[in-house]
Structure 1
């Protein structure tokens, strides 16, 4: 039987979000899962095998309307856990990108996520309890040559999570940011980055990353960097000039580097 509590997980059709939803279901939470593709409905069937109630919503989380559609699907139930995991990547040189493409990254990763976080946090603060996990990235710790807009949005999320955590510190609501590195998901294919070093190298397991994020959220930690290589990279980023980090990032993300 479930525990009667509701976990909302965005970007749950694949990757880290899919694994987070499995963990939440195993822990007895009812699920409200959302993604911007029909695959979310078949993912929901997988989650139901754990014996919990699952509602799936296909919505465009880059829009306010899409996020309102998600919130309406909760049907008035309080949100106990919000796992704000939906995100969009974009490779290649910024000057060569279509406006619609980089706007989608900002609207999904920044605008839509910020709106959803505000709505959920207001509700949680009013009740005096709740947990929030935001999927940031160690990409937010370094200027992202050939991933410039994406890294910028993750820097925003990393920063925003700490600020929100401080604002809510005495409210009974915890905020945790998960900072994975390159993870084995559909991200690099969708970002058109399969011809880069970072796109072709061995990556972290999405299940392990999700477990690290879940455990950190449940313990109320401020952040977790998943993977020892990423911990090392995060530490290096704090003592390395941004101009050097930008050059390092070029070596990972420049098109053709993975050939």
Structure 2
């Protein structure tokens, strides 16, 4: 049998060449396949890098604030009286944060706001204690219900709910630190949190304006001299094309210099 096999191989030199050729091709095919896998893997990495790391030229001058990310900004101007401008920041869960808009008339008074009093109407809003999933003890409020009274050296102003709903809490921190209204009315200086019903919100929304509409409506007011000091730069920045850069500078000022 061995002799027969040897004779067969000898008689078929082409078959022997084919076997050798196949042996040579196998490593080449494996190497080619590996190259294709590496290229595919590299392409996937490049695509992932593009998704995770944007072109630096397309990035904003500063990251968006928590308000910009988590809330939709609405405003109401001249509410019940001229100059009584307020903001309503609405969260995706329906909660509304209420506060003084940058152009509220109280900021125009020398020295800004010096005091806040939640004891208005027939009850003190600061003793409100809401509990449970159903928000027991929440105070039902109309859009014109008084929230508090803010005072300056020369005058006092009533701040209202702006939306119909359940008053869940007021910012008690302002009682001891009313200066937060001057320095960060749009953040730590918020005044109250209200939960409107969906139907009530739909009606209230008709009387509100968007951030862009507010900018356009109030751009002349923010050029007045009383907005030139540091605490008001944030409000001036709201109207500027360089708002992101200015706001970033203000954040640095309050975090590392004033504190």
- TM-score of the two chains, using structure 2 as the length reference: 0.24
Flag the structure with higher strand content.
2
- Larger relative CO (CA 8 A, sep 6+): 1 or 2? 1
Flag the structure with higher helix content.
1
